Structure 1
Amino acid sequence: MQKKRLFLLDAYALIFRGYYAFIKNPRINSKGLNTSAILGFMNSLLEVIKKERPDHLAVAFDKGGSVERTEMFQAYKAHREETPEAIRLAIPYIWEILQALHIPILVKEGFEADDIIGTLAKKAEKQGYLVYMVTPDKDFAQLVSENIFMYRPSRSGNDAEIWGVPEVQEKFGVQTPEQVIDFLGMMGDTADNIPGLPGVGEKTAKKLLADFGSLENLLSNTHKLKGKLRENIENNAELGILSKKLARIILDVPVEFNERDFEISNPDMEQVTKIFEDLEFRQLLQNLIKTYQNATEQTQAIQTDLFGGESLSERKNIQNTPHFYQLVDTPIALKILLQNLLTQSEVCFDTETTDLDSLQAELVGIAFSWHQGKGYYLPLPENPAQTQEILQDFKIFFENEQITKVGQNLKYDIKVLANYGIEVKGNLFDTMVAHYLINPDMRHNMDVLSQTYLNYSPIPIENLIGKKGSGQLSMRWVALEDQKEYAVEDADITWQLKDLFREKLQQTHTASLYTDLEAPLIRVLAKMELEGIALNTDFLKTLSVTLDEDISTLENAIFALAGETFNLASPKQLGDILFEKLKIADKPKKTKTGQYATSEAILSDFAEHHPIVAQILEWRQLQKLKSTYVDALPLEVNPKTGRVHTTYMQTVAATGRLSSNNPNLQNIPIRTPRGQQIRKAFVARDKNHVLLAADYSQIELRIIASLSQEPNMIKAFNQGEDIHRATASQVFGVPIDEVTREQRSHAKTVNFGIIYGVSAFGLSNQTELSRSESKQLIDTYYATYPNLRGYINKQIAFAQEHGYVETILGRRRYLPDIHSKNQVVRSAAERNAVNAPIQGSAADIIKIAMIRIQNRLEKENFQTKMLLQVHDELVFDVPKSELEAVKKAIQSEMENAYSLTVPLVVDLGEGDNWLEAH
């Protein structure tokens, strides 16, 4: 008979892990709640239920810490920072969810979750259970036996790990799992502030255990040790014994294992749904439903008890919502539709196509809606000529400037229709872009918006064409009735969102930002993306061969220095060479998997320790250049146009900056000579054209000067001085014409560092200055520019009062962590309070310039095309015959885009390729 299985989850370990997994991209819902910790924990819980189908399960929480360990050692866990506010707010939600799922919650005053789990694991084992301790915490390895396992949930795409006795033996280098307690006692545990034996790290602890078997045996045989190690261990024997006691998991917590109390039972789906909808966990709710449905089917429970009736039907969908969607498939119907369209002041439309790439896409149909619950679908034939003929009739609608066009991601639709010779005119209301201004930290896809604001679940596209992959169908092959329902539903939903978002734009005072900036920018970006840029692929092929030769030369040099050949791309082999064989560091850092850390940041610190390090860093740089750019860019050339067409994402960066992908042309390297060669591959259209680059000079510093009203900075900019040289002159107390290159470099680092809250520690890492010298430089800097400190304090105070900061045009960056009691989290929010208005204002200004330039190019009938935007730089394809006139026009529009206290200055350059122009 198969043994029953009990899964015991270590709540806080999983909650903290989930929170920090999203730390760079926290999950913030429309209410401003950081849901990262809840989402991370629930992902781990559902993974266990889905994959393992447990018979019995419970979740253990700490309460009040370990009284016994604190009595032994007052400093136990005393160094830990206060729990992040987002986690503290998450705990009640997690408890509520677990209660709704009818999952037992285990807690005992004065004991840690480790002790509760350990005690129950041993008791359940005696009752014939297989026990799985679900946690990433290595301390639990001491409890592993033939029937008790560690279950480490999946992370970063890796599968879950299950540690039995062999895995623990291999991981810790022990004979039995019980020796893990000795291992932890010897080396200590910084996470719990367990001191361990001085000078004993992981490697030494493994060796000592192999030689002596236990901490006590080691302490009885220290005469067999030598030198400093013997001295450290003999002088700290009591500390070692204490550390072992602290590391031992308590196994006599007063808790009982009654198997019926731990059985998986039917959840209260009505309550679960209510909580998840409040948290805006739409996808997670669907995952949970599927998980429990499958689990229920496997255990032959009655599915309708769990999911029947109306447990989820509070959310509307196409099945339970009255609607009237009509197919326009006859000449008379087509004529009536067109007549109706031309009488409207606003119409929502949505294209259905065969491809997400607008340059490759063929139109399958177009949906229209201008009343809630009503809409029309115009299917288009596969024959291009017939489609073109039908679209010609509708050109009068799309190009009518009096009719506002409503849509979701209109840039795509505009580009698709442009391929058929149709220009979409009139005002634009794009719900995706509007919502980006309303709540920039949320996702903006239509399904999320519909579920969040309309409580409506749209038809998933997978229902029509299947999941992504080689088996996915084309929309062309979907039944016409299904096309109609899906397409018109999208237009109907978008139409309804439009009114809601118009009101919210007013409420957040971002309506003019949408109308005057983001909406007009949609067309500008569409034109740029359609235009693309020419690429010299022959040049890149030659460069690839050269890089291959350089890489091979570097590899031979590295292998000579290492004394052997190895796989340079293997972090493990590289780490062994550097730290085991060449010993370039006394105490090298390791990753969580136990390998030596060999990241660029780590290796850069050792560049002066051994010549091999600089060679390795250069090898990596060349490999990245070759794989990411030199070999990859030719594959991005569109076969129809022979040009590279990037896509600009208008709704991604919360600061307001544009981002670029497929390919990302904003990351083309420029700082190294080899990296600059990549730009050389981007060329003008032909010999009668040149590329023109127009770059704002130090725009962020000019914005700082204007926003802070710092007189010394304003004076330097207004007099046309080199701001870094002027700063160095002020800070170092030397005449401006005597400033050295080194002094200017330090001043430049501080100038730009102010935007990101540079510290003495950070400045010393970026320069050769000591930390004290860096602190003195920063103090002198603020004394020279006193208004900057006032500006920084003012921004933080504003954020604390309002919960957001604004750019010069009123773009908001919400900062929910500005009041966090966790210093690290709060400090990050404070840096954003200073940085976001500066970066965001720079983004606003260049967007204004792009719109003004495009309007002027069209008004004056220039043939010049705007091709690229790379943060503060714009790149144009210019006929040589109009170069001088265009240069004046572009410089004028950019420098007059916005009026600051200091002038905006634009540097212009031209050439046959981007490198020459920059």
Structure 2
Amino acid sequence: MPEQKRLFLLDAFALIFRGYYALIKNPRINSKGMDTSAILGFTNSLLDVIRREKPDHLAVAFDKGGSSARVDAFPEYKANRQETPEAIKIAVPYIHKILEAMNIPIIEVAGIEADDLIGTLSVQADKAGYKTFMVTPDKDYAQLVTDNVVMYRPARMGNGIEIWDVEKVKEKFEIEDPKQVIDYLGMMGDAVDNIPGLPGVGDKTAKKFLKAYGSMEGLLANTHELKGKMKEKVEANKELGLLSKQLATIILDCPVQFHEDNFELSTPDFQAVSDIFQELEFRRTFENFQRIFKAPTENNTAEKTTPVSESGGNAPSTSQLDLFAAPSDAPAEVITGFQEAKNTNHFYQHINNELAQNLLLKKLMQQKSVCFDTETTSLNTFEAQLVGIAFSFEKGKGYYLPIPEDKNQALVILDKFKAFFENEEIEKIGQNIKYDIKVLSNYSIDVKGPIFDTMLAHYLINPDMRHNMNVLAESYLNYQAISIESLIGKKGKNQKTMRDVSVDDQTEYAVEDADITFQLKQVFEKELKENGLTKLFSEIEIPLLKVLAKMEIEGINVDADFLKGLSEDLNKDILELETSIYGEAAVEFNLASPKQLGEVLFDHLKLVDKPKKTKTGQYKTSEDVLSYLANDHEIVANILKWRGLVKLKNTYVDALPNEINSETNRIHTTYSQAVAATGRLSSNNPNLQNIPIRTERGKQVRKAFVPKDKNYTLLAADYSQIELRLIAELSGDETMKSSFLNGEDIHRATAAKVFNVALDEVTREQRSHAKTVNFGIIYGVSAFGLSNQTNLSRKESKALIDTYYETYPTLKAYIAKQIDFARDNGYVETLLGRRRYLKNINSQNAIVRGAAERNAVNAPIQGSAADIIKIAMINIQNLFEKENYKSKMLLQVHDELVFDIHKDELELLKPIIKEEMENAYKLSIPLDVDMDMGDNWLDAH
């Protein structure tokens, strides 16, 4: 008897939306700034079906214009659906091109939905003797399941595919016949499609009704058996129930025909597919496509291979001579579900004796480039103890060196491997290698030689994407790594450290990390070169990484007693404000409760006629709402002051003493290079960049930061108006440049020009307005925004902005040019070639597009400022180390550097620091640095 032929019908939009939302937290953005998540998700699902199932016949069905029949029956059908995300709108034409290039039929009829097309074709295919697989995650299709029609739910999030046959559907919905799914959906309704259903009927109730009455009609004929409100609701909505069932019923007589010759899976147009994938930058996906259609692995070995690993019992012992044997050839890659250790050949070895250590070290010393990864007991580098170190220098191959808990024994092993870590010639590869450098420094190891950090490389290549290793492995290698949670448990549940994990599991986990990172380096090295980012990476980001490691290890001294006194003072201020607020309100309430605050301000005091509300109906009391009212209502101004003081106390004054390291008695912030898309550094644990300095109490927090001891003084060096100088430089506006070249106060000079008065006649208010425009212009300040920030009316604000652009005409042209460049290229660049991708620059949504346009203007300015201070930091640190100065660089806060200067070196280093900062990058106008010093950070600022 011949084998039954199989037809696979894919619901395009179900798979497109599924792919898009699966990657919503980690969108795939290509070098043009285009969000390709939806295209990639659909394409991977398509290729996975073909690879797994090798179908005889296959087609893809699309919705086109919704369902005319359902809208005629119920005009509100799908009326509450949100607008289709732009990335999906963009995706559909590309998916059409991919399918056309692969010679896969597209089924599409205006006014008919994909499920109706697939339902109709499945009935026809059944009559023709085919078994049909409806490829979709949509449960509505369960109503179509028969002996020859099944649902094929694609793999997702590490779970395998699911086949819903008749028995599976009956089990899932607790019914006797798949056709009862229509009644189930009709009773339940569907919020997504706006099918009303029967009020008050949910999943459990619908299943109960179907067991009792069998169908919607059976239920409606027996409503006399129902009780209470349920009876009232069902009887009052009988017609709505029948309509809902009609809307939920998949139509089986659409104007499409199943002709088996047209649906047969045929040979793709390889060149056409290559062109599309190249445009989308789907390199890995194209490799998988080639494997599937040109050279598939015999007998589908990708799913049958076993890992070659000591932990799996297949690797040789370390006493054997093939310690460094090459791994077997890697099998074909799995498309969705990803490759994993269990289905990929690899050679991961536990180095368990002295001979093996010596052999490993010898091999390491012969390499040009080695990836290493430390396993530790803590993410806090000052508390972390080494558990082991993994090494990899060849794909699919690596070694794990366990480190004893006893520090003396650990030092014996690490002292041996110092020769590798401190070798100046061997390139060291790592993912967030700054962490490893800091951990090894606890064991007196100074990592030397060239460095390649895959996290930083990817940050430059795609700054808006996440950069953690597991995400990168999935995105670029189609590989799903072992999760740390699977080894040590989630926080608060089975929590343990890597020390508690078996050595076999340590080996598998740690070496896999090193192996993946080594492979990512090969990918990113090429992408850096292709995107012109190699110089930025190797001459700024990597040298800066070493500088930041030293700054973080050094830390800064903090006066805990001063903070304790400040906390007591803040308590008094807070209580005084509370008393004043309660007096003005004539009622006591919980100031920290937005609900109670809203009721007092808008119900009790009636400050405005029509206060804004949240979606839940609660009054809005956010800062922007209160700031608008603060000028007219003292109670609101006091509430904002109260909020500021409470936040200051909780976030900084009371929290900072807890951040003082018990061993060093200093605070050690951590700088992140790969967070802000503009290139700016961010500070955390604790965040020292956001300490408020606009209020007197906020400024006092800086007073707690003090020199190392009486032999040192703090020195702060701050770039003066660097962003405005960069605006002048990048725009080439001669009027603005001349102000800087003449040493004029730029805000006063701007005010003199826009208000048409002499420099010495500019009032404080005029200068303030000019300053607001100067700084606001790169953020796209509007008349409305300027009006809110000043006492100018909206009309006056518009006139001021118009006059500003007339004064600086080149600047306005520059802004337009930047936006045009971004529209054409999908990105903008800093002076040093750092890119900011703007995926929404051509969005049809004006608000979204406007935000991207503002970024097109300010990203090169902010990014160039960030690059310049990074260069200054590198040069200053090199000079400090070369001359072996006692002074140290401690902090970087936006445009400011803070130093612990030994008093003996003060007069020598002041001019050096100023010169290095002002000459970090040559502009046609001078960079200017303000410097001051003192016995605390506030005095030095």
- Return the TM-score normalized by structure 2: 0.72
CA contact (8 A) 1:327 1:376 kept: yes
SS in 1 for 2:246: coil
Q: Is the 8 A contact 1:84 1:822 kept in 2?
A: no
Q: Write the deviation string for residues 191-232 of structure 1: whole angstroms up to 9, x where unpaired.
A: xxxxxxxxxxxxxxxxxxxxxxxxxxxxxxxxxxxxxxxxxx
1:803 alignment partner AA: G
Distance between the aligned counterparts of 1:628 and 1:66, measured in 2? 58
Q: Could you tell me which residue of structure 2 aligns to residue 27 of structure 1?
A: 27
Structure 1 residues 540 and 35: CA distance shift in structure 2, 3 A: farther
Partner of 1:236: none
| C-alpha separation in 2, matches of 1:906 and 1:177 | 79
* Residue 521 of structure 1: aligned partner: 544
Contact 1:817 1:826 in 2 (8 A): yes
Instruction: Call closer, same or farther: CA 1:136–1:668 in 2, change over 3 Å.
Output: farther
Is residue 685 of structure 1 aligned with residue 721 of structure 2? Answer: no
Q: Which residue pairs with 2:136 in the alignment?
A: 100
Contact 1:133 1:150 in 2 (8 A): no
Structure 1 residue aligned with 2:774, among 751, 754, 777?
A: 751
Q: 1:811 to 1:259 in 2, by over 3 A?
A: closer
Q: How does 1:653-664 map to 2 (within 5 A)?
A: 653-664=676-687
Task: Indicate yes or no: 2:441 matched with 1:418.
Answer: yes
The answer for the alignment partner of 2:927 in structure 1 is 904
Tell me what 2:466 maps to.
443
Structure 1 residues 60 and 693: alpha-carbon distance in aligned structure 2, compared to 1, 3 A threshold: same
- CA separation of 1:252 and 1:393: change in aligned 2, threshold 3 A: closer
Partners of 2:845 and 2:805 in 1: CA distance: 27
Task: Give the CA deviation at 1:584.
Answer: 0.3
Aligned to 1:341: 364
Per-residue CA deviations over 1:376-419 (Å, capped at 9, x if unaligned) read 21111100111112111111211111111111111000000111
Which of 737, 741, 748 matches 1:718?
741
| Offset, 1:608 | 3.6
Per the alignment, residue 145 of structure 1 pairs with 199
What is the match of residue 718 of structure 2?
695
Q: Note the residue ranges of structure 1 that are not aligned, 5 or more in a row.
A: 1-10, 42-58, 107-122, 152-174, 180-247, 262-277, 283-308
- 1: CA distance, partners of 2:336 / 2:66: 38
- How far is the alpha carbon of 1:371 from its aligned partner? 1.6
8 Å CA contact 1:725, 1:747 repeated in 2: yes
Q: CA deviation at 1:463?
A: 2.3
2:69, 2:907 → 1: CA distance?
76
Q: 1:869 aligns with which of 892, 900, 913?
A: 892
| CA-CA distance at 1:313 after TM superposition | 7.5
The within-5 A match list for 1:359-758 is 359-469=382-492, 471-758=494-781
**Which residue of the partner structure matches residue 841 of structure 1?**
864
Question: How far apart, CA to CA, are the structure 1 residues paired with 2:907 and 2:730?
Answer: 34
Q: Distance in 2 between matches of 1:68 and 1:259?
A: 14
- Deviation string for 1:55-107 (max 9, x for gaps)? xxxx99984999999x999xxx99x998663353467989899952244389x
Displacement, 1:343? 1.9
Q: Supply the distance in 2 between the matched residues of 1:537 and 1:806 (Cα, whole angstroms).
A: 43
- 1:815 match: 838
In the aligned structure 1, how far is the partner of 2:919 from the partner of 2:391?
40
Which residue does the alignment assign to 1:786?
809
How far apart in 2 are the matches of 1:529 and 1:569? 35
Q: Structure 1's 550 and 249: CA in aligned 2 closer, same or farther, altered over 3 A?
A: farther
Partner of 1:326: 349
C-alpha deviation, 1:837, in angstroms:
0.5
CA distance in 1, matches of 2:729, 2:200: 69
Paired position in structure 1 for 2:125: none
Q: Which amino acid aligns with 2:246?
A: V
CA distance in 2: counterparts of 1:176 and 1:619, whole angstroms: 51
CA distance in structure 2 between the partners assigned to 1:371 and 1:398 by the alignment: 18
For 1:463 and 1:279, the matched residues in 2 are separated by 33
Q: Is residue 81–residue 822 contact of structure 1 (8 Å, CA) maintained in 2?
A: no
1:761 to 784, 787, 792: 784
CA drift at 1:487: 1.2
RMSD: 4.0
Distance apart, 1:578 and its partner CA: 0.7
Residue in structure 1 matched with residue 87 of structure 2 by the alignment: 86
Deviations 1:107-126 (A, max 9, x none): xxxxxxxxxxxxxxxx9999
Other structure's SS at 2:844 match: coil
Q: Contact between 2:454 and 2:517, CA under 8 Å: does it hold in 1? A: yes
User: Which has the larger displacement, 855-864 or 248-257?
Assistant: 248-257
Judge conservation of contact 2:488–2:498 (CA < 8 Å) in 1: yes
In structure 2, the residue corresponding to 1:367 is in which secondary structure?
Answer: strand
Partner of 1:895: 918
For 2:64 and 2:599, the matched residues in 1 are separated by 39
Cα distance in 2 for partners of 1:125, 1:254 equals: 10
Q: Which range moved further: 124-133 or 697-706?
A: 124-133
Partner-residue secondary structure (3-state), 1:793: helix
Alignment of structure 1 residues 194-205 onto 2, 5 Å: none
| SS of residue matched to 2:370 | strand
1:34, distance to aligned residue in structure 2 (A): 3.4
CA distance in 2, matches of 1:511, 1:895: 25
Taking a change above 3 Å as real, the CA distance of residues 880 and 842 of structure 1, as seen in their structure-2 partners, is same
What is the correspondence of 1:214-229 to structure 2 with a 5 Å cutoff?
A: none
Check the 8 A contact 2:189/2:198 in 1, yes or no: no
- Aligned residues of 2:533 and 2:833 also touching (Cα < 8 A): yes
Identity of aligned residues (%): 59
TM-score w.r.t. structure 1 length? Answer: 0.73
Query: What whole-Å deviation, never above 9, does each CA across 1:32-73 have from its counterpart, x for those lacking one?
Result: 4437899999xxxxxxxxxxxxxxxxx99984999999x999
Q: Deviations over 1:142-162 (max 9, x none)?
A: 9873436999xxxxxxxxxxx
Instruction: Tell me the distance in 2 between the aligned counterparts of 1:705 and 1:150.
Output: 67
List aligned pairs for 1:85-234, cutoff 5 A.
85-89=86-90, 100-104=136-140, 131-133=187-189, 135=191, 145-147=199-201
Letter of the 2:885 counterpart: F
Change (3 A) 1:625 1:868: same
SS of 1:805's partner is strand
Q: CA shift at 1:889, angstroms?
A: 1.3
